[in-house]
Amino acid sequence: MEPPNQSTTLHTSKAHLQPAEEMRDVHQTSCCIVGGGPGGAVLALLLARRGVPVTLLEMHKDFDREFRGDTIHPSVMEVLDQIGLAAPLHELRHSKVSGPTLRFANGPFRLFDLGRLKTRFPYILLVAQARFLEFITREAAKYPSFRLVMQAHVQRLVEEAGVVRGVGYLGADGWHEVRSQLTVGADGRFSQVRQLAGIVPVKSAPPMDVLWFRLPRLPEDPDVAGGALGGIGRGRILVVLDRFDYWQAGLVFSKGHYQELRGEGVESVRRSIIEAEPRFSKHSESLADWHQFSLLSVEANRCKCWHKPGLLLIGDAAHVMSPVGGVGINYAIQDAVVAANVLTEPLRSGRVQEAHLAEVQRQRLWPTRVIQSMQSFMQERLIAPALLSQQVGNVPWALRLLVRTPILGTLPARLIAFGARRVRLNSV
């Protein structure tokens, strides 16, 4: 796999297109990343700043779209700090969460408190994901080896003798091709790259779905310890995050009950809010129309193999995480950091082997398994019983005991902050 040393545009290749589908150009680069989400954007930045020619293809025209989570975890901030970007990141409009206090029948309970961790960043930074992605790609654009193409909808893999050599995408002005030594599928949970490569993830079905919505900030609202709170109502769990000008709320309910919830109407959501957290009774009056809600159909999956010759999957394309602990963005970025650690030198020397891709998977698979197992445990032992019960439940005494124990007590916080393995950049 011999790459050119810099990004160049080559002559048009029409070999595999229908006559009506004129290929406009063929661009050559070292690494072609499909998907400008957190995983793809951060990988592009990390490679570009080490001089690797990289093209990032994003199918949307901008980074503004439906809510997909705005959480930047301590481990991501530590990595950005290594390359001098933690301080500018904090200049973006943000709020901070160190752990929600949930209301149970036997009193309030805080499962994790990031404030107890030894890190420069003992909190989750809430930054609108669109602003975060703009920030990362703006930084990447400072390096001449970086190229970003928006409105580039990847629909084909270029393959030669069983090796992926790039992609074909439909842009605003027609078809284009990017030829590369390595293609990275960072195109999210419905990954087209994964599908084109014939890789099928193994699914699990967490027993819940989440309805996301906003609640207004009222003048009399108190400061909330830890930046988040919540409660358990009859068969539903409410989580509320402080977003400065508004509250971001998630109502967790049993999987498969969305139509029933919708049939009951907005009034039923309002009732659940009041049951779970009476302090939000007045806020709930702002909910009047179903358009104010967006549904997260919760699923989790993991691919057995994240690569094939010339192709690597990272982030949600390789593993969709359940929302328990909100670690999806963290894990996608950690994959990117490990991919940059392992692949920068091989990409620079034009010697990427499948063994390098397998090494990325080796380093990331077990932390993914550990967190997914922890999420399954929480879902089965805590969340499912709470959703099935028509009573406001108690916190199990064993859990209360656990969080008070000196070392074990910070385990949930450490897993949420850093994942199962703390990831750092090998060279900066």
Ligand X SMILES: Cc1cc2nc3c(=O)[nH]c(=O)nc-3n(C[C@H](O)[C@H](O)[C@H](O)COP(=O)(O)OP(=O)(O)OC[C@H]3O[C@@H](n4cnc5c(N)ncnc54)[C@H](O)[C@@H]3O)c2cc1C
Contacting residues toward ligand X, per CB under 6 A: 34-40, 57-60, 67-69, 71, 152-154, 186-189, 192, 212, 296, 315-317, 321, 323, 326-330, 332
To ligand X, the closest distance from the beta carbon of 152 in angstroms equals 6
To ligand X, the closest distance from the beta carbon of 301 in angstroms equals 12
To ligand X, the closest distance from the beta carbon of 117 in angstroms equals 17
Evaluate whether 152 touches 58 at the Cβ level (below 8 Å): yes
Evaluate whether 299 touches 320 at the Cβ level (below 8 Å): yes
Residues forming beta bridges with residue 184, ordered by sequence position: 33, 312
Return the number of the residue (70 or 113) whose C-beta is nearest ligand X: 70
Evaluate whether 240 touches 278 at the Cβ level (below 8 Å): no
Residues forming beta bridges with residue 294, ordered by sequence position: 212
To ligand X, the closest distance from the beta carbon of 20 in angstroms equals 21
Instruction: State the DSSP code for 223.
Output: P
**Any residues with CB less than 8 A from the CB of 174 and at least 6 apart, and which?**
21, 22, 23, 24
Crossing angle, helix 328-349 and helix 74-82, to 10 degrees? 30
Return the number of the residue (36 or 233) whose C-beta is nearest ligand X: 36
Q: Count Cα neighbours of 151 within 13 Å in the Cβ-side half-sphere.
A: 6
Tokens of 139: 């930084």
Q: For residues 214 and 48, what is the distance between their CA atoms, to the nearest angstrom?
A: 37
Q: Count Cα neighbours of 232 within 13 Å in the Cβ-side half-sphere.
A: 24
To ligand X, the closest distance from the beta carbon of 362 in angstroms equals 19
How many angstroms from the chain centroid is the CA of residue 129? 10
To ligand X, the closest distance from the beta carbon of 217 in angstroms equals 19
To ligand X, the closest distance from the beta carbon of 324 in angstroms equals 10
To ligand X, the closest distance from the beta carbon of 300 in angstroms equals 11
> What letter represents residue 67's amino acid?
F
To ligand X, the closest distance from the beta carbon of 273 in angstroms equals 18
Tokens of 171: 């842009």
Return the number of the residue (135 or 274) whose C-beta is nearest ligand X: 135
Return the number of the residue (34 or 102) whose C-beta is nearest ligand X: 34
DSSP 110-177: -S--GGGSSSS--SEEE--HHHHHHHHHHHHTTSTTEEEEES-EEEEEEEETTEEEEEEEEETTEEEE
Pairing of strands 146-150, 54-58: parallel
Return the number of the residue (74 or 188) whose C-beta is nearest ligand X: 188
Return the number of the residue (274 or 330) whose C-beta is nearest ligand X: 330
Instruction: State the DSSP code for 202.
Output: E
Q: For residues 176 and 188, what is the distance between their CA atoms, to the nearest angstrom?
A: 21
Q: For residues 337 and 136, what is the distance between their CA atoms, to the nearest angstrom?
A: 14
To ligand X, the closest distance from the beta carbon of 252 in angstroms equals 12
Return the number of the residue (241 or 274) whose C-beta is nearest ligand X: 241
Tokens of 304: 């057995």
Evaluate whether 269 touches 293 at the Cβ level (below 8 Å): yes
Return the number of the residue (38 or 233) whose C-beta is nearest ligand X: 38
Determine the 3-state secondary structure of 240 from DSSP. Answer: strand
To ligand X, the closest distance from the beta carbon of 7 in angstroms equals 18
Return the number of the residue (167 or 273) whose C-beta is nearest ligand X: 167
Of 207, 203, 189, give the one whose Cα is nearest residue 378.
Answer: 207
Q: Which residue in this structure is represented by tokens 């939000």?
A: 280
Return the number of the residue (6 or 294) whose C-beta is nearest ligand X: 294
Return the number of the residue (61 or 351) whose C-beta is nearest ligand X: 61
